[in-house]
């Protein structure tokens, strides 16, 4: 059976696996109920055995999907192959062996299931390539039934009409599922593009760090204890005037890389604007000051290849319980200017709110 790789772990893979699980679970329940009612329905011994085997098969496939999500296409391909072979064999038996059977048997209602399984297991083109031969084979069985001698004329006419209606329904079902897959793929592509553009809008295009908008979202998130650190490059205008804006941009990227390397897991850093960065530190002001010092040390130990050592002035403020984030940012900004007045290349702690 034809399979086309769907990226494991992708939203499409999760969707297809979940859909296949639902189908198999419904088949398991249907088979179980039919087996329980096999006595009142006067189901023969052979059919009871087949129902028991189907029950075991569905249980095995469900367990397989549950324990190995990445193999959903293998499970789906096996299920699809089994359904197609079983459907063709059963309809051959009904039409070409038991010529006196009335109608197309109750199993005919399940003949459309392979189209659904194919749509869940395979992308649109591959699903169509797998299902089209099945539909053609069903049509060929109908032609063979019409040409078989010994079938009463009125029965042949009634069954042929039912067969044609079923084929038309199958063709419609296959067309709808194919169209639905195409629409779903376009929708998923549009959603992915929108998410990518949204993520890009939140990132600073120069440094790749979260931009001011993204930092505002992070600031609004609830935190137990959080400190903010304003980071400003010392004499950055001089860098641009001396070396040019291209080198100045590279210095900003250099600092952004150092900032990423300096913060801990769970902390955040972004570009606030211009030559100013903002670090959001989970913890008190003393811990935030140590991280700011680590960033300054990193830049001393890793000078820029053109400009040389880059120095920073940092203002640190711990957000107090119940304090508005705007107040904490204002205090950190005041501490930053205090660091500038102290001669730059230093870290200053903000004055607690309400202190003289």
Active site residues per annotation: 275
- Residues 227/283, Cβ–Cβ less than 8 Å: yes
- Residues 257/298, Cβ–Cβ less than 8 Å: no
Q: What's the CA gap between 236 and 17, in Å, rounded?
A: 54
Residue 189 burial (CB count, 10 A): 10
- Angle of helix 113-121 relative to helix 124-147, nearest 10 degrees? 160
- Residues 7/69, Cβ–Cβ less than 8 Å: no
Residue 57 burial (CB count, 10 A): 17
Burial 292-316 (b: 16+ CB within 10 A, else e): bebbbebbeeeebeebeebebbbbb
Q: What's the CA gap between 101 and 93, in Å, rounded?
A: 10
Q: What's the CA gap between 118 and 127, in Å, rounded?
A: 5
| Half-sphere exposure for 75 (CA within 13 Å, toward CB) | 26
Closest CA to 299 of 285, 289, 309: 309
- Residue 110 corresponds to which tokens in the numbers above? 């399940």
- Residues 212/271, Cβ–Cβ less than 8 Å: yes
């Amino acid at each position: 059976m034809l399979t086309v790789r769907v990226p494991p772990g992708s939203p499409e893979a999760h969707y297809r696996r979940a859909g296949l699980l639902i189908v198999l679970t419904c088949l398991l329940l249907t088979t179980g109920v039919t087996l329980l009612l096999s006595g009142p329905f006067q189901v023969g011994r052979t059919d009871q055995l087949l129902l028991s085997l189907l029950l075991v098969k569905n249980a095995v496939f469900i367990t397989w999907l549950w324990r190995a999500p990445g193999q959903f296409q293998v499970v789906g391909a096996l299920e699809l192959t089994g359904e197609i072979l079983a459907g063709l064999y059963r309809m051959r038996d009904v039409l070409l062996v038991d010529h006196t059977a009335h109608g197309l048997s109750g199993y005919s209602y399940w003949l459309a299931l392979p189209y659904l399984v194919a749509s869940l297991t395979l992308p649109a083109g591959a699903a169509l390539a797998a299902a089209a031969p099945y539909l053609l084979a069903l049509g060929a069985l109908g032609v063979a039934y019409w040409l078989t001698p010994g079938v009463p004329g009125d029965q042949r006419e009634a069954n042929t009409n039912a067969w044609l209606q079923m084929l038309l329904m199958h063709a419609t079902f296959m067309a709808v599922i194919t169209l639905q897959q195409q629409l779903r793929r376009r929708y998923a592509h549009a959603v992915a593009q929108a998410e990518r553009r949204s993520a890009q809008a939140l990132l600073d295009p120069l440094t790749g760090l979260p931009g001011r908008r993204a930092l505002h979202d992070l600031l609004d998130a609830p935190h137990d204890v959080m400190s903010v650190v304003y980071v400003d490059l010392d004499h950055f205008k001089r860098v641009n005037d001396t070396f040019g804006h291209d080198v100045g941009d590279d210095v900003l990227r250099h600092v952004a890389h150092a900032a990423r390397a300096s913060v801990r897991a769970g902390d955040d850093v972004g570009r606030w604007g211009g030559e100013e960065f903002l670090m959001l530190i989970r913890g008190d002001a003393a811990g935030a000051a140590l991280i700011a010092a680590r960033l300054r040390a990193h830049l001393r130990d890793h000078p820029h290849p053109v400009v040389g050592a880059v120095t920073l002035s940092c203002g640190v403020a711990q957000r107090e319980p119940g304090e508005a984030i705007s107040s904490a940012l204002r205090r950190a900004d005041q501490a930053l200017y205090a660091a500038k007045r102290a001669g730059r290349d230093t870290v200053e702690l903000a004055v607690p709110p309400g202190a003289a």
